Amino acid sequence: MVPYMNDVLLILPFFFYLRFSRYFIGTAELYPQMDKQIKIVEYIILAMAFIVALLIPLDEPYLAMIIITIFIQLLFLYSVWLIRFFYLRRNKLIRFLLIASVFAVTGHFLAITLPLIPQVSSYLTFDLLNITMIGLAFEIFFFNTGLGYKAKFEQEEKLKAQAEVINQYAQNQKIQLQLEGMRDKIANDLHDDVGSTLSSIVL
DSSP conformation letters of 56-80: TTTT-HHHHHHHHHHHHHHHHHHHH
Q: How far apart are CA 106 and CA 41, in angstroms?
A: 19
193 vs 101, residue with greater confidence:
101
CA dihedral over 168, 174, 179, 183, signed as positive or negative:
positive
User: Which of left, alpha, beta for 26 (phi over 0: left; psi -120 to 50: alpha)?
Assistant: left
pLDDT at 49: 83
Considering only CA atoms, which of 97, 37, 108 is closest in space to residue 71?
108
Top mean pLDDT of 10-19, 30-39, 68-77, 125-134 is at 30-39
Q: Is the pLDDT at 67 greater than 70, yes or no? A: yes
Phi–psi pair at 58, nearest 5 degrees: -80, 5
Q: Is the pLDDT at 66 greater than 70, yes or no? A: yes
Residue 102 near residue 73 (C-beta atoms within 8 A): no
200 sits in which H/E element: helix 129-202
Full-model pTM: 0.57
* Alpha helices (H) along 88-128: 92-113, 118-121
Mean pLDDT across the stretch 46-61?
Answer: 76
Residues with Cβ within 8 Å of residue 95, at least 6 apart in sequence: 87
